[in-house]
Amino acid sequence: MAPEPRIVVDASKRRFSLNLKELLDYRDLFLILAYRDLRIRYAQTFLGLAWAFLQPAATLLIFTVVFGRAVKVDTGGIPYPVFAITGMTAWTYFAFVLNQSGNSIVASQEMVKKIYFPRLVIPLSKAVVGFVDFLMAFAILFVLMAIYRVTPSPNIVFLPGFILLTVVSALAAGIWLSALTIRYRDFQHVIPFLVQFGLYATPIAYPSETIIDNLPRWGTALYYLNPMAGVVEGFRWSVLGGAPPNAFAYLSFGVMAILFVTALMYFRRVERVMADIV
């Protein structure tokens, strides 16, 4: 016979614990919430899933016209649409998770107030939903590579690693924002701003050299405080080859790691009072 489950809650003894086992026990909930989001996302839309394709495609078109044709950004010989979509693939996912998870706890407050479950399940499920957009962007990437006859670089073996880093940075930012939005609704307004700002503050539409060559060292360091700066460069390097990410990229990864750990800690702290303040 399995040991009887036992719950002890003591207000005087509290410590930080991730409780991964419990999170694992709730995997069914996590999956069904992701399923729910996928099902309702395009409910009653005429174009349905095509929206996940149209959004990056439209941005890509604008980038190609503005940065590829008008400004003529130097991409080191890579056809501009291929260059831009590699950056956008990682960014689309990041932006989606940021948008969705930032508001996720507030949007599920009815549930949060009525039933117990590890609240992390909510932003985590958004990271799963984002894979649809991720896959769509990948599809565009591969189609464009075929059209422009760009062969993937051998660095592609590192791609899974950079995909993982994309997910981790998206979660880091998403979890932070979901917890902050509970207490300060201001962050609902910060998110669209962050996404728009990040689209240009990250080497997506242009290679990082065009910016950092004109910046002092501290400016470059500042630029790489953006965790996605390193991720997008690494992502592009693993797909298209070229010069490996510069040393500053490690700064990006460091910031990401710190953000991720502190996000989990802050979230756990807010989790205790979530139902009272949401």
Partner 1 sequence: MSGGTAIKVENLGKKFIIGHRLEGDLRGSFSQRLSRLMARDGGGTREEFWALKDVSFEIKKGEAVGIIGRNGAGKSTLLKILSRITDPSKGRFEINGRVSSLLEVGTGFHPELTGRENIYLNGTILGMRRAEIRKKFDAIVDFSGVEKFLDTPVKHYSSGMKVRLAFSVAAHLEPEILIIDEVLAVGDAEFQRKCLGKMDEVSKGEGRTVLFVSHNMGAVESLCTKGIVVSQGRVVYQGHVTDTVRHYLQMTSSEEVSNDRLNEHVSIEEFSLSSTIVRSLEPLDLTLKLVSDEENEIHGLAILFYNSLNDRVAILDLREGLRSQKSSKVEINATIHSLPFIEGEYKLGVFVKSRLCVGDFLNLRELIVEGASRNFTPYARKYRGLMELKADFKTR
Whichever of 43 and 247 has its CB closer to partner 1, that residue is: 43
The region of 65-73, 205-213, 244-252, 269-277 touching partner 1 under the rule CB under 8 A is 269-277
* Whole-number Å distance between alpha carbons of 8 and 37: 33
Cβ of residue 184: shortest distance to partner 1, in angstroms?
A: 5
- List binders of partner 1 among 180-199 (CB under 8 A): 182-186
Number of residues that bind partner 1 (CB under 8 A): 39
What is the secondary structure of 31-97 as a DSSP string? HHHHHHHHHHHTTT-SSTTHHHHHHHHHHHHHHIIIIIIIS----TTS-HHHHHHHHHHHHHHHHHH
Query: What is the amino acid identity at position 40?
Result: I
* Whole-number Å distance between alpha carbons of 244 and 222: 20
Cβ of residue 175: shortest distance to partner 1, in angstroms?
A: 19
Distance (Å) of CA 205 to CA 86, 116, 117, 220 = 10, 44, 41, 17
Tokens representing residue 61 in the block:
């078109």
Whichever of 25 and 209 has its CB closer to partner 1, that residue is: 25
1 binds partner 1 (CB under 8 A): no
The region of 8-16, 191-199, 210-218, 224-232 touching partner 1 under the rule CB under 8 A is 8-16
261 binds partner 1 (CB under 8 A): no
- List binders of partner 1 among 73-132 (CB under 8 A): 108, 110-117
272 binds partner 1 (CB under 8 A): yes
Residues 6+ apart with CB under 8 A from 8: none
Residues 6+ apart with CB under 8 A from 207: 73, 74, 75, 76, 83
Q: Which residue has the tokens 């790489």?
A: 224
Q: Are 95 and 199 in contact (CB under 8 A)?
A: yes
* Whole-number Å distance between alpha carbons of 172 and 188: 16
Q: Tell which one of 32, 58, 146, 164 touches partner 1 (CB under 8 A).
A: 32
Cβ of residue 95: shortest distance to partner 1, in angstroms?
A: 23
- List binders of partner 1 among 142-181 (CB under 8 A): none
Whichever of 186 and 213 has its CB closer to partner 1, that residue is: 186
The region of 2-10, 64-72, 164-172, 208-216 touching partner 1 under the rule CB under 8 A is 2-10
- List binders of partner 1 among 34-63 (CB under 8 A): 36, 39-40, 43-44
Radius of gyration for the chain, computed over Cα atoms and rounded to the nearest angstrom: 20
Where along the sequence are the contacts to partner 1 (CB under 8 A)?
Answer: 4-12, 28-29, 32-33, 36, 39-40, 43-44, 108, 110-117, 182-186, 272-278
